[in-house]
């Protein structure tokens, strides 16, 4: 049992050959078990092709059960290999029903487990190959010594396989090692790569260069069909397709599991903290079961400290492709960024507690509508925004705007700041028309109060330009964004208004399809903000999120 493509069937084939060599008088039978119907057909094929059980009547309504009975009655030893039994439900006995309770099987479920057909006698041996540990445990009846894990090849084994199938006389050792590492030492991936190399008269080095071209090219290569001995003819040889079968099995078994597995598709494959996944599940038991499912299918590997795990690079790549096929990539990418942002801003809960404490004290001392109290209320609203609690932020911002208009007037700088904050809440809540009304009013008042080249006016201009992009008002957006961008030189690269203008300019480049300019400007802005405020500041994280969006749009999944 182990990951798809690791060579379980080939190990079984080699064992069968050696068994036949050492015991020529004994029979070896091979049956495919990707489904109960395929297994039954395989049993019937033994009758038709081999003629080993002449006593079974072709008119018998349950010929597969007669094969079991005949094997149990045999007077000589035999070996039965049941290949690709990857569904745990195939090993659920007739006497069990959903929920693990014992009872009488209904006619619809009768003989739907291969356990019902496997002989039970001292003179026969059975080998089952499976990707699923649960299947292996059920078959061996929890007898651990009968479970054999087939792991990826060693570096030496991978190198030997590559060299033995290479078309060039003597591939460079460094290139052989690099290819083996890129393909995770998986036999199926290596054989698939070498088949492509042979068919297209490439060198190992040329294949590596092609493989490293982009994620899209890698995925295309992993989807390439090829011929190889020993693989089931009804199962795709392409590694990507084989792995997608495992992912589909997961989705059919438990949608929660596939939801959790989607997060690691966007993280560093070699170190994924379990604590990140816990955020997606309400109960500790759910996390244990979810990780257990992924481990039984050999899709993840726990670390030594048990606090994190790794995901095969190839599995991660195929998982991303699967999400694209299911039209779920963008949604899952955004969810992943939200989870990471929440983790990076993990002290927001502490900030919230402190904001509430100070606000309550000021209410008691100054009263609810005092300027000092309103300032603390604005601080709490800002914390809610950082936590993504936009409805709560909106309620506070609305009260602050109304109160400051009464106390300070509609043109006061603090009133305008409150209106800009309320506009941000509206934007995140999808109320773009209301946000536009506020943004326009704020910009006009900023111009009137401070002039066009003041930093607060430039900031208001950039914010309204970004909103126009969201509203699809490209001409209006471009005018405002380019104007705010042209005035950045008055403040230098280290000023916050420059960062805001740069961010909206990058968004404009992206909207106009100038992705290289958008990427270059975003990277430059991130470096400047990191240097000034650190990598975990909300402005820096927002800029990184925007850059990830650019990479997603141009299908640079690794960078995203």
Task: Flag whether pLDDT at 491 surpasses 60.
Answer: yes
The larger pLDDT score, comparing residue 464 to residue 347, is at 464
Closest CA to 208 of 199, 225, 226, 196: 196
The first and second tokens of residue 54, run together, are 């002449």
The larger pLDDT score, comparing residue 445 to residue 470, is at 445
Could you read off the pLDDT of 115-146 as tens digits, one per residue?
788 888 888 888 888 766 666 776 776 566 67
Element containing residue 311 per DSSP (H, E)? strand 308-311
Q: Is the pTM of this model over 0.85?
A: no
Could you read off the pLDDT of 105-114 as tens digits, one per residue?
344 445 467 8
Could you read off the pLDDT of 396-409 as tens digits, one per residue?
999 999 999 999 99
Average pLDDT over every residue of 31-46? 81
Closest CA to 152 of 320, 317, 322, 315: 315
Distance of CA 43 to the CA centre of its chain: 39
Strands of 100-239 (E only): list them: 124-128
The larger pLDDT score, comparing residue 258 to residue 145, is at 258
The first and second tokens of residue 358, run together, are 């100070």
pLDDT band at 440 (very low <50, low <70, confident <90, very high): very high
The larger pLDDT score, comparing residue 339 to residue 367, is at 367
**Percentage above 90 pLDDT, the chain:** 12
pLDDT band at 73 (very low <50, low <70, confident <90, very high): confident
Tokens 């932020």, residue located: 393
Torsion sign, CA atoms 267, 273, 274, 279: negative
DSSP 8-state code for residue 537: S
Average pLDDT over every residue of 363-389? 86
Average pLDDT over every residue of 310-326? 82
Average pLDDT over every residue of 338-365? 72
Q: What is the arrangement of strands in the sheet containing 308-311, beginning at the earlier edge strand?
A: 272-273, 308-311, 300-302
| Residue 323 CB partners (closer than 8 Å, separation 6+) | 262, 265, 329, 332
Average pLDDT over every residue of 317-329? 83
At residue 91, the pLDDT reads 63
Task: Flag whether pLDDT at 479 surpasses 80.
Answer: yes
Closest CA to 457 of 466, 471, 447, 467: 447
The larger pLDDT score, comparing residue 392 to residue 228, is at 392
At residue 92, the pLDDT reads 62
- The CA distance from 155 to 255, in Å, is 36
Average pLDDT over every residue of 46-63? 62
pLDDT band at 418 (very low <50, low <70, confident <90, very high): very high
The first and second tokens of residue 100, run together, are 């693990």
Task: Flag whether pLDDT at 88 surpasses 80.
Answer: no
pLDDT band at 346 (very low <50, low <70, confident <90, very high): low
Could you read off the pLDDT of 205-230 as tens digits, one per residue?
888 888 887 777 888 887 776 555 54
pLDDT band at 506 (very low <50, low <70, confident <90, very high): confident
The larger pLDDT score, comparing residue 412 to residue 325, is at 412
Task: Give the strand pairing for 272-273 and 300-302.
Answer: unpaired
Alpha-helical segments (H) within 348-490: 348-366, 371-386, 390-408, 413-428, 432-450, 455-471, 474-486
pLDDT band at 555 (very low <50, low <70, confident <90, very high): confident
- The CA distance from 554 to 530, in Å, is 25
pLDDT band at 493 (very low <50, low <70, confident <90, very high): low
Q: What is the mean pLDDT of the chain?
A: 78
Backbone Cα Rg of the chain: 32
């Amino acid at each position: 049992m182990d990951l798809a493509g690791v060579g379980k069937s080939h190990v079984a084939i080699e064992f069968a050959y050696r068994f036949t060599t050492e015991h020529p008088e004994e029979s070896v039978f091979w049956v495919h078990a990707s489904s109960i119907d395929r297994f039954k057909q395989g049993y019937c094929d033994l009758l038709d092709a081999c003629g080993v059980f002449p006593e079974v009547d072709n008119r018998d309504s349950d010929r597969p059960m007669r094969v079991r009975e005949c094997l149990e009655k045999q007077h000589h030893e035999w070996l039965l290999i049941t290949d690709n039994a990857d569904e745990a439900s195939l090993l659920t006995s007739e006497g069990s029903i959903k929920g693990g309770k014992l009872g009488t099987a209904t006619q619809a479920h009768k003989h739907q487990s291969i356990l019902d057909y496997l002989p039970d006698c001292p003179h026969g041996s059975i080998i089952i190959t499976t990707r699923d540990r649960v299947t292996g445990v059920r078959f061996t009846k929890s007898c651990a010594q009968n479970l054999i894990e087939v792991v990826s090849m060693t570096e030496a084994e991978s190198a030997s396989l590559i060299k033995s199938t290479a078309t060039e006389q003597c591939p460079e050792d460094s290139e052989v090692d690099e290819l083996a590492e890129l393909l995770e030492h998986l036999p199926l991936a290596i054989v698939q790569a070498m088949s492509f190399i042979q068919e297209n008269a490439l060198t190992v080095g040329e294949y590596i260069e092609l493989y490293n071209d982009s994620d899209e090219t890698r995925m295309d290569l992993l989807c390439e069909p090829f011929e190889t001995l020993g693989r089931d003819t009804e199962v795709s040889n392409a590694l990507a397709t084989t792995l997608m079968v495992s992912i589909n099995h997961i989705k059919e078994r438990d949608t929660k599991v596939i939801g959790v597995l989607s997060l690691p598709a966007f993280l560093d494959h070699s170190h994924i903290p379990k604590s990140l996944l816990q955020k997606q599940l309400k109960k500790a038991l759910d996390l244990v079961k979810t990780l257990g499912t992924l481990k039984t299918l050999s899709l993840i590997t726990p670390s030594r400290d048990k606090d994190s795990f790794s995901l095969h690079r190839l599995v991660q790549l195929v998982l991303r492709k699967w999400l694209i096929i299911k039209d779920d990539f963008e949604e899952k990418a955004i969810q992943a960024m939200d989870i990471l942002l929440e983790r990076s801003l993990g002290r927001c809960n502490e900030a919230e507690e402190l904001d509430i404490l100070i606000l309550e004290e000021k209410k008691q001392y100054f009263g609810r509508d005092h300027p000092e109290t309103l300032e603390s209320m604005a601080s709490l609203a800002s914390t809610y925004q950082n936590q993504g609690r936009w409805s709560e932020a909106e309620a506070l911002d609305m009260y602050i705007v109304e109160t400051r208009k009464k106390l300070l007037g509609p043109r006061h700088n603090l009133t305008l700041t409150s209106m800009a904050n309320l506009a941000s809440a509206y934007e995140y809540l999808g109320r773009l028309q209301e946000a536009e009304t506020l943004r326009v009013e704020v910009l006009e008042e900023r111009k009137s109060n401070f002039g066009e080249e003041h930093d607060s006016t430039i900031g208001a201009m950039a914010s309204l330009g970004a909103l126009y992009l969201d509203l699809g008002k490209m001409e209006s957006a471009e005018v405002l964004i380019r104007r705010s961008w042209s005035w950045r030189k008055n403040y230098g690269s280290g000023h916050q208004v420059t960062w805001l203008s740069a961010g909206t300019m990058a968004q404009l480049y992206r909207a106009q399809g100038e992705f290289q300019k958008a990427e270059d400007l975003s990277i430059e802005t991130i470096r400047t903000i990191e240097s000034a405020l650190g990598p975990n500041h909300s402005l820096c994280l927002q800029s990184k999120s925007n850059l990830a969006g650019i990479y997603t749009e141009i299908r640079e999944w690794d960078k995203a």
